Amino acid sequence: MSTVSLPLSEPNVEWRLPSRGKVGMWCLIAAEAGIFTIFVVAYLFYIGKSVTGPMPAEVLELPVFISICLLSSSATIHVAGKALARGRVVAFQFWWFVTIALGLIFLLGTAREWHRLIYAHGLTISTNLFGTTYYSLVGLHSFHVTVGLLALSLVMTFALLGKVNQAYAERVEVLSLYWHFVDAVWVVVFTVVYVIGA
Amino acid sequence: MSSDAIALVPSRVSSRPIVEVLHDWIVTVDHKRLGMLYIGFALLFLVIAGIEATIMRIQLAVPHNTFVSPEVFNRMFTMHGTTMIFFVAMPLVFGFANYLVPLMIGARDMAFPRLNAWSFWMTAFGGLLLYFSFLGGNGLYGAGNAPDIGWFAYAPLTARAFSPGHSTDYWTVGLLISGFGSIGTAINIIATILCMRCSGMSLDKMPLLAWLNLVMAGMVFLAMGPLSAAQIMLIVDRYLGGLFFDTQAGGSAVIWMHFFWIFGHPEVYILVIPAFAFVSEIVPVFSRKAIFGYPVMVAATVAIGFVSLSVWAHHMFTVGMPSYGNAFFALTTMLVAIPTGIKIFNWIGTMWGGQLRFATPMLFCVAFLFQFLIAGLTGIMLSAAPFNWQLSASYFVVAHFHYVIVGGILFGVFGAFYYWFPKMSGRMLNETLGKWHFWLFVIGFHLTFDFMHIPGLLGMPRRIYTYEPGRGWEIWNQIVSIGAAFQAIAILVFVYNLVVSYRNGRPAGSDPWDAWTLEWSTSSPPPAYNFAVLPTVRSRRPLWDAKHPEDPDWKYE
């Protein structure tokens, strides 16, 4: 997008190729999307096929707060990445930390929900088909949030050690691509599990 | 141009202690070494799975045979199928892609060398896990050893009640792990092709092999994702008490079939598109003509990849789908024949009027053309749902898909071996032994798989461990088993040729076939860095341009 304003005009055509980090991450996202698609299809297929309770309508509550947290973490990681690209390292660290905090809140919220479902309603992965599909799909997503948080925390550690500067902006952007994907998957999971499924 | 700088490297390597050499191979991140590791791993498993096939053919050679027990027979066909697809065909395809893609696009390595090593070792670990089931599958239950669920592992055979012990767990975990390896390699292939091309190599100037591997890698995501998901569900069922495939609790056995074949059918094209890639590189060089219809070849490949994503349920006509489901999957399956036919015509168009040289690589490619055509024709027969109802799960189906995988894919891979072995080893494969290999294998292949169609038409189901005499199946099964012996001898000739030629083959030089793509511009074997100076290309045949400066390709493209 900034090529228009470039004052340089090379005499011979410059050979430019896409960033391999971004291409690699988009490929990983494609493969992950394949995995999630199958779990979502299984969830939709098995809605209403449980032969025993509890049923989703009886036990599921809309996780509005943690959903807002997770989705806004997409915005904060974007702000963090932009800050790093402009060389504002402290702002990057602040927004990066906020992203991790929001992700943690989401995970804790999921943990609370699971605790409630298991101990208050007796719903486990082997109770009925709802349990099997619910814990698999939400669990697969939470696993991806966890992996993302580990990666974000690794960057945070390096950032606090003063190792992350403007030169790493592109790598940070690759990681935030993954985080955006995890958030986008949550939109699908939320719709399927809490809206359609309930 | 870069061949002088590295002439000393091979002799220095060979004088080092064996432990150091092995250590180098284990920690390597070089795409050429990883490619050869993939290929060596695949050849090892080819021999193992070939022995399993031989055991089955001995058992079926005569009626009421007692060479192996029914239980062992079930394990043999399960392990043969699983091994051949996941630990022979996939590693062969990935091995050649690993070795060739960076060389052909003028790059020094893959985009992610360490991911590349990780992917190979994941695949290798998956294969070892699968075979460890022979020892570890017993578990505490004293039941079974290797998996005996068939390579597509239909529910409820995989349920705890019907697969006690750990054999099915080794199967599912082995495939899950090797599937992650496959996804890693596919990411690498795409990132390499999109981001590592040498100067001037725009997408329309890439060798067809790179284009076809790009499509193949894209399909790996769309196929391996669903397979991984299905394997995770199976693990949830077996270890956590999940109910995905438990029909008594409302689960569905049919949905496993859908998930498996959503992987399973694109998988066929994942394997055959690289074979197309080999043929698309070899046929022009041995016809002394540029490939006919390059853009159409690319478009046809993309079309095959796209259409093949919506044909999976033709494996399930006998399950009882609604009529519109049957019609949809019958029509999409027949649709694949159009782009495939275009490709076959283009290869013939490339040979048309060319100066054909029938060296061993070309022989395998010509056989590929004929055999893949017949495989496609029986495929169209099976895509007609009523015909399929009659012959599903019969030996006709077994003959059809072996025609694709052996007659198509394996012949393409053998062509690739004879064509690129000189680049990998620096020595030519022996041409006389190559011709013996080719003719023995052609005879064995046709004895086995031509005649295997007939007991299928006569009603012989697949996966039976023996049969009654007097049904008219005996003579055909005997011929099929004799063909298997020919194929086994041909494979031995091939392996002997690899060993002998690697030791004392005729030195190849950098460009033994007078070819046109970049891998032939560097020495044989190439140095670790591939190219001392990264090349710049102006056409699809950069070496033609270099050899014929008076009449370069870029004037016409």
B161 to chain A, any CB pair closer than 8 A? The answer is no
- Residue B394: what are its φ and ψ, rounded to 5°? -105, 175
* DSSP code, position A127: T
Q: Which of A116, A110, A115, A107 is nearest to A58 (CA)?
A: A116
Can you give the pTM of this predicted structure? 0.93
B186 to chain A, any CB pair closer than 8 A? The answer is yes
The fold adopted by the segment(s) A20-47+64-196 is Four Helix Bundle (Hemerythrin (Met), subunit A) (1.20.120)
Assess whether pLDDT exceeds 60 at residue A16: yes
**B325 in Cβ contact with B254 (< 8 Å):** no
**B224 in Cβ contact with A31 (< 8 Å):** yes
- For helices B360-383 and B411-425, the axis angle rounded to 10 degrees is 150
Per-residue pLDDT of chain B (557 residues; tens, 9 = 90+): 444 444 444 545 557 889 999 999 999 999 999 999 999 999 999 999 999 999 999 999 999 999 999 989 999 999 999 999 999 999 999 999 999 999 999 999 999 999 999 999 999 999 999 999 988 776 555 555 889 899 999 999 999 888 888 889 999 999 999 999 999 999 999 999 999 999 999 999 999 999 999 999 999 999 999 999 999 999 999 999 999 999 999 999 999 999 999 999 999 999 999 999 999 999 999 999 999 999 999 999 999 999 999 999 999 999 989 999 999 999 999 999 999 999 999 999 999 999 999 999 999 999 999 999 999 999 999 999 999 999 999 999 999 999 999 999 999 999 999 999 999 999 999 999 999 999 999 999 999 999 999 999 999 999 999 999 999 999 999 999 999 999 999 999 999 999 999 999 999 999 999 999 999 999 999 999 999 999 999 999 999 999 999 989 888 87
CB contact under 8 A, A34 and B240: no
Q: Tell me the CA distances in angstroms from B457 to A140, B61, B262, B384, B462, one per residue in order.
A: 46, 18, 27, 15, 12
Rounded Cα gap, residues B277 and B300, in angstroms: 12
**A198 in Cβ contact with A57 (< 8 Å):** yes
Chain A nearest CA to B506, separation (Å): 40
**B209 in Cβ contact with B104 (< 8 Å):** yes
What value does the mean pLDDT take over residues A25-51?
Answer: 95
Of A31, A51, A125, the CB nearest to B249: A51
Assess whether pLDDT exceeds 90 at residue A172: yes
> What dihedral angle (degrees, nearest 10) is formed by the CA atoms of A147, A152, A158, A162?
180
CB contact under 8 A, A31 and B251: no
Rounded Cα gap, residues B93 and B271, in angstroms: 7
Pick the residue of B118, B187, B254 with the most A CBs within 10 A to test the interface with A by mutation. Answer: B187
pLDDT tens digit string along A57-85? 999 999 999 999 999 999 999 999 999 99
Of B232, B240, B259, the CB nearest to A125: B240
B199 to chain A, any CB pair closer than 8 A? The answer is yes
Assess whether pLDDT exceeds 80 at residue A119: yes
Chain B nearest-CA residue for A36? B229
- Residue B507: what are its φ and ψ, rounded to 5°? -55, 140
What value does the mean pLDDT take over residues A12-18?
Answer: 78
CB contact under 8 A, B187 and A128: no
Domains of chain B: 4-555 (1.20.210.10)
Chain B nearest CA to A127, separation (Å): 8
- B 257-316 residues with CB < 8 A to A: 259, 262
Rounded Cα gap, residues B311 and B333, in angstroms: 5
User: Which residues in chain A have Cβ-Cβ distances shorter than 8 Å to B250?
Assistant: 46, 49-51, 128-129
Q: Is B276 helix (H, G, I), strand (E, B) or coil?
A: helix
Helix runs in A47-128, H state only: 56-59, 64-85, 89-121
What pLDDT, on the 0 to 100 scale, is given for residue A5? 32
What pLDDT, on the 0 to 100 scale, is given for residue A171? 93
What value does the mean pLDDT take over residues A178-194?
Answer: 97
Chain A positions touching chain B (beta carbons under 8 Å)? 15, 17-20, 23-24, 27-28, 30-39, 42, 45-46, 49-51, 124-126, 128-129, 132-133, 136, 140
Task: Give Cβ neighbours of residue A145 (< 8 Å, ≥ 6 apart).
Answer: A70, A103, A106, A107, A182
Whether the CA torsion A134, A137, A143, A144 is positive or negative: it is negative
Of A33, A46, A124, the CB nearest to B225: A33
Task: Give Cβ neighbours of residue B335 (< 8 Å, ≥ 6 apart).
Answer: B307
Chain B nearest-CA residue for A43? B244
What pLDDT, on the 0 to 100 scale, is given for residue B143? 54
* DSSP code, position B471: S
Whether the CA torsion A187, A188, A191, A193 is positive or negative: it is negative
Interface contacts (A, B; CB < 8 Å): 123
Record the tokens describing residue B299, joined without a space: 């478009």
Rounded Cα gap, residues B129 and B82, in angstroms: 12
CB contact under 8 A, B225 and A38: yes
What value does the mean pLDDT take over residues A42-67?
Answer: 93
What value does the mean pLDDT take over residues A168-193?
Answer: 96
By CB atoms closer than 10 A (0-12, 13-18, 19+), residue B470 is exposed
Record the tokens describing residue A110, joined without a space: 């999921």
Of A31, A37, A46, the CB nearest to B224: A31
Helices and strands in chain A, H and E counts:
6, 0
Q: What is the DSSP string of B386-400?
A: HHHHHHTTBHHHHHH
Record the tokens describing residue B294, joined without a space: 């390059």
**B551 in Cβ contact with B539 (< 8 Å):** no
Q: Which of B373, B336, B337, B208 is nearest to B279 (CA)?
A: B208
Of B228, B230, B250, the CB nearest to A51: B250
CB contact under 8 A, A136 and B225: no
At residue B54's C-alpha, the angle toward residues B52 and B60, to 5°, is 110
What pLDDT, on the 0 to 100 scale, is given for residue B249? 92
Chain A nearest-CA residue for B232? A136
Domain boundaries, chain A: 20-47+64-196
CB contact under 8 A, A42 and B255: yes
Of B183, B226, B237, the CB nearest to A38: B226
Helices and strands in chain B, H and E counts:
20, 0
